Structure 1
């Protein structure tokens, strides 16, 4: 049986920390679906379609990754994709507390689904999508913190942030 995992997130924008998690998780599963989630509580810099395209470009070197998007309940999406594992990246203890509560909720409503937590590499532990947008807004350097395709698009839009 093919082992499929889902790595959900808003990815607005994708960072090198995300890419680190994708690369490492892709070695653990037959297929990793990176799923862009529509979060109605956030005002994204990039549209859903743009985020999907940027993810596809940034992960093009990873053969067993598929990029997708969804809205609605994560456990329903996981089931629709015939997956049983959710991969969540963690940077700090505060991420764990939030993600742990979400994982317990999903486990309660769908006991078959497992959540795997992966710590990002220490070199990216301080990098967040919101931090990247703030750096770009004030003219900070984001080189080395995001994939080059993302840096290009953020710099192009930095006046809109």
Structure 2
């Protein structure tokens, strides 16, 4: 069975990598796909995100990397013959956000959503936090 692991991956985090590795153990093939979200401003160019995803998945023989910039996630799933979407959830807030989309994907195209609970050691990590930490200016020495 083929699964899609979609996201902005802006940037990819250790939490994303954990979900990807666990999904690769569960499905015959996993397509990790950089999706365009018009509600988010990208921090990194899509090409750079794809390169980082390829590097993260280099040792996973059943993972391919792709991007999708137009249309709904279910449009991509239909075109690629994918029936399952994989989503990592860190807690109740993520689940509250993901559930309506999961229901809609099932209603629109029969695409099921498979939730993978975040590793507790990584659940505090988000792309926003990683970016903020990487841009943190150092306090000059006095």
TM-score, length of structure 2 as denominator length: 0.93
1:24 to 22, 25, 38: 22
For residues 38-57 of structure 1, the aligned pairs below 5 Å read 38-57=36-55
Runs of 4+ with >2 A deviation: none
SS state at 1:78 partner: helix
What RMSD in Å do the two structures reach over aligned CA positions? 1.1
* Residue in structure 1 matched with residue 11 of structure 2 by the alignment: 13
* Residue in structure 1 matched with residue 67 of structure 2 by the alignment: 69
For residues 1-161 of structure 1, the aligned pairs below 5 Å read 3-71=1-69, 72-110=71-109, 112-139=110-137
For structure 1, the 5+ residue unaligned runs are: 141-161
Q: Which moved more, 1:34-43 or 1:3-12?
A: 34-43
For structure 2, the 5+ residue unaligned runs are: none
* Paired positions, count: 137
SS state at 2:26 partner: coil
* Residue in structure 2 matched with residue 153 of structure 1 by the alignment: none
**Residue 44 (structure 1) shift:** 1.3
State the alpha-carbon separation in 2 of the partners of residues 17 and 9 from structure 1.
Answer: 12
SS state at 1:103 partner: helix
**Residue 15 (structure 1) shift:** 0.3
